[in-house]
Structure 1
């Protein structure tokens, strides 16, 4: 029998209802973090039984229940004290979630601890390597590093690599927690560097890509490991996506997974109240869509799959995770309790960010299923009309720059250093602008539409010829020999 994950609590009142709810003296563990995703464990894994183990001080009534769209279904009520254990066969119970409630029956009775355990027909302990990309955000990344370092004390299967694009953290070569310096080639450069490091070392089974400024609940990693260790063969190639909860409103889900709808992005599970049991069930029942992906604030990728499908697009930021998830062309896995808190993206919007968003969303049109000249036409014209109606001339100037660079292809985009390209965009966003930009933008739109067939072939060719292995990225990041040298040092 393996421990799947421990029951957890929090000292933050704003998050409490995600962990243990309290109504009177009853403790409710049928919550976002402490329920058991019955439907998903049955769907994704070879798990056959689940066992609830509790440590109790005093006498309690334990109520076991399942939950689905129709409501709650009581499985059993029994009294317990001290060490409580109850095992259920997954094949014998229906429902989307499994949970329990505790009602104290003796004075001073206390819940002490607990966990879900399970037996699977196949269990292979997987090794996970975390890859974090950071740029001059020492306060945030050090916090995440501290959480992961503490987690590693009891979970030796986890290793951590921080790719520092700003080179402001000291280089660290401890095998379990490393820091390497990297050129500032954005999130795509940092995350790809982590992929290359782990692939060439070959010491892990999965790479968990993670933003530097998240708030992490370590239990998410524990259940990630358990799920991957008993995964069914049909999900061997799938990515596991963690949801994003709002840092400003910590019980609200910003997004579970998302998909590219040919013209714009569609987030799934937006605005769900994860302190509400009904929304916890809804969150487990979100459907699958073409061009679905998991964002890289928390996304676990099989190492072998990187070898098979190649490396991400060199697009600096915005869209690299989208295209890579779409490229994998496998079902995306997700589960309640596998999530991070992240600041709302509305606080990070700028003209520079809009440049990358405009340019890279058009690039993705060349790779996503169902996209064509028609969807490209609608996407380009829609952006132009929207900015024209907004009356912001600078946004049209940024669109001109995005279209010009799009029309140079990835060969043109990567012909100069990515940090120099960022300076170009910043200069464009700071330059003066006149009404003539309306004509310039209209001309850029027409040119991009007319040259679509040629550019479509170029984008397809670049991915096939340059990204199937790490050669392009090693040269682009000027990292030839760096990994081999470190691997040699660790073996002597």
Structure 2
């Protein structure tokens, strides 16, 4: 939780110059969610502390720091994207302590280390002491500390280390600036809801309690809930508006919310949030502060995705699309200062952000979402609007990973959105586009997910009908029966435990010889069946198997852990061969018609990703 202070609060300092200061970042406290590590919020080097009711209670002799995901300050990103040139600290509490302001950095990675796929290894963290003060805090005083010039630091995270000389209670630790905001920020939050009643009601309760102003005429934040299933159970009141909506997926829901914000006319910024993602309210407040001081053109702020099932693992820190979606800084540990500093690096800059948390300025809106239903609509939205996507420490959402949601339906949706974006958004040629489609198809085929492979072929056939297919299938009703059949054939035999003899392999690099054999035999598909290993091999569920591990195995056991219930799938060479032939025919047809198809998409895509398209759509329903 946060202290619930209004954004851009102006406070009188105790500096002799009598300047007024504006809030940039306040502490984010751990809430009621027990599965979230305390190290995401505060780091205890020695002793003990408790965080209760928006206060920190630190025992005498304890050493405590804010070098954490939610409470360190991203000094370089603030400097590079805003007009802030110096920041100060403001503390309020009771007790004696020594307070150190420090800057944490890490050495540059070795040449050639890809920034998107940094390994999970730890590394050295360098700490620089910027200032140290002895403080005797009393209940009715606020202590401002000397300003830190951002130009003096090229990178790293700014944090505090506090040595409690007696039992200490801290009400607030705020980063503030003397500069007034340069941008007005009135935020419209759009949440698209579909059959997640408990999740949406919990999210709205938190927003009402911690962010939404009691007087809608004075509110800096408005909430739009687009109810695609018409069952959210929330009523329109104050600055909360519920819009019943026909289910056109996330693309339709967020577009309906955007239309509402455009019509209101006074909203300056928008935040898209999924109904199955949760975030700290402080992440929203931090985003609003960034927008208030932003100088970067077409700035958009993307929240990192932290895994809901494992709240210490960052699924991605933004994404990059070049025909395939790449997760940047994937699988970093929120509890590791070294990993947090890796996430600060922008050697590989994201070009899109997921809609679990994605904020942007309304005046930068040139295109609405393309009617993909779901999957890929967020990628196209970022690319077509040419947003400069920023990720920053402390702005995130918790949600399920794409691997956890994967099935034949998502394979279909992924394949068609990737294909359309290669054709119409990136303007790729036929060879590169066919390679991209082939990669998606083979991932499923060689993982023994034959329903998903079938779905990729169907996706390509539908895309070849032209953009009008998406208008005619806005609600996907004509495709769901077929996709259910694909999903049924995608599933394996359910088992309560792994089969006897199941091999659990360690992650290791494949040899050059093995890689050549995998390519020449299509990962063993072309090898006679009697030569395949009969013992199953374990794999975590996901978009694809680790092909080196399943090479030449007849059976794959998919389960969350090797000892948990799962499903057994088996290699079916005859079915795989038929799917390969179907894909080859589909690919040849796409190659022959590619020039005409691309011309059509390039001409018509802007019209489908437009405000007029969605106004026309909703005027008809």
Instruction: Specify the alignment match of 1:7 in structure 2.
Output: 27
| 1:109 positional shift | 2.6
| 1:287 positional shift | 2.5
Instruction: Specify the alignment match of 1:485 in structure 2.
Output: none
Q: Looking at CA atoms only, which structure, 1 or 2, has the larger radius of gyration?
A: 2
- Secondary structure of residue in 1 paired with 2:260: helix
Higher helix share: 1
Instruction: Specify the alignment match of 1:18 in structure 2.
Output: 40
Q: Is the 8 A contact 1:57 1:81 kept in 2?
A: yes
Q: Is the 8 A contact 2:188 2:261 kept in 1?
A: yes
How does 1:129-144 map onto structure 2 within 5 Å? 129-144=188-203
State yes or no: 1:47 paired with 2:110: no
Instruction: Specify the alignment match of 1:207 in structure 2.
Output: 270
Cα distance in 1 for partners of 2:144, 2:591 equals 65
Cα distance in 1 for partners of 2:485, 2:248 equals 19
Distance 1:437 1:23, change over 3 A: closer
Runs of 5+ unmatched residues, structure 1: 481-492
Distance 1:369 1:408, change over 3 A: closer
Cα distance in 1 for partners of 2:196, 2:444 equals 32
How does 1:428-467 map onto structure 2 within 5 Å? 428-429=485-486, 435=575, 436-467=578-609
| 1:18 positional shift | 1.2
In structure 1, which of residues 250, 267, 271 is the aligned counterpart of residue 311 of structure 2? 250
| 1:382 positional shift | 2.6
Distance 1:282 1:416, change over 3 A: closer
Cα distance in 1 for partners of 2:487, 2:169 equals 61
1:343-376 Cα offsets, whole Å, 9 max, x none, are 2222211111111111111111024447322210
Distance 1:385 1:20, change over 3 A: closer
Cα distance in 2 for partners of 1:403, 1:317 equals 16
Runs of 5+ unmatched residues, structure 2: 1-20, 47-61, 108-125, 491-573
1:36-84 Cα offsets, whole Å, 9 max, x none, are 1111111111113212111231110001111222411001111102132
How does 1:89-168 map onto structure 2 within 5 Å? 89-91=148-150, 93-94=152-153, 95-106=155-166, 108-120=167-179, 122-150=181-209, 151-153=211-213, 156-168=219-231
Count of aligned pairs: 472
In structure 2, which of residues 384, 398, 406 is the aligned counterpart of residue 341 of structure 1? 398
- Secondary structure of residue in 1 paired with 2:163: strand
Q: Which moved more, 1:315-324 or 1:280-289?
A: 280-289
1:416-465 Cα offsets, whole Å, 9 max, x none, are 44241342443542687994554333212221222111111111112223
| 1:321 positional shift | 0.6
- Secondary structure of residue in 2 paired with 1:166: coil
Distance 1:412 1:112, change over 3 A: closer
Cα distance in 2 for partners of 1:119, 1:422 equals 57
Cα distance in 2 for partners of 1:431, 1:216 equals 34
Q: Which moved more, 1:268-277 or 1:48-57?
A: 48-57
Instruction: Specify the alignment match of 2:614 in structure 1.
Output: 473
Q: TM-score, normalised by structure 2?
A: 0.72
In structure 2, which of residues 101, 105, 127 is the aligned counterpart of residue 68 of structure 1? 105
Instruction: Specify the alignment match of 1:276 in structure 2.
Output: 336
| 1:334 positional shift | 1.6
Instruction: Specify the alignment match of 2:460 in structure 1.
Output: 403
Instruction: Specify the alignment match of 1:230 in structure 2.
Output: 293
Cα distance in 1 for partners of 2:355, 2:337 equals 27
Instruction: Specify the alignment match of 1:488 in structure 2.
Output: none
1:307-338 Cα offsets, whole Å, 9 max, x none, are xx221110101101101111122421121001
Instruction: Specify the alignment match of 1:78 in structure 2.
Output: 133
| 1:247 positional shift | 1.2
Cα distance in 2 for partners of 1:465, 1:368 equals 13
Q: Is the 8 A contact 1:53 1:115 kept in 2?
A: yes
Distance 1:287 1:369, change over 3 A: farther
Cα distance in 1 for partners of 2:201, 2:466 equals 37
What is the Cα-based RMSD across aligned positions, in Å? Answer: 2.3
Q: TM-score, normalised by structure 1?
A: 0.90
Cα distance in 2 for partners of 1:287, 1:198 equals 35
Instruction: Specify the alignment match of 2:548 in structure 1.
Output: none
In structure 2, which of residues 347, 357, 360 is the aligned counterpart of residue 298 of structure 1? 357
Cα distance in 2 for partners of 1:53, 1:363 equals 51
Q: Is the 8 A contact 1:104 1:110 kept in 2?
A: no
Instruction: Specify the alignment match of 1:239 in structure 2.
Output: 300
Cα distance in 2 for partners of 1:330, 1:125 equals 19
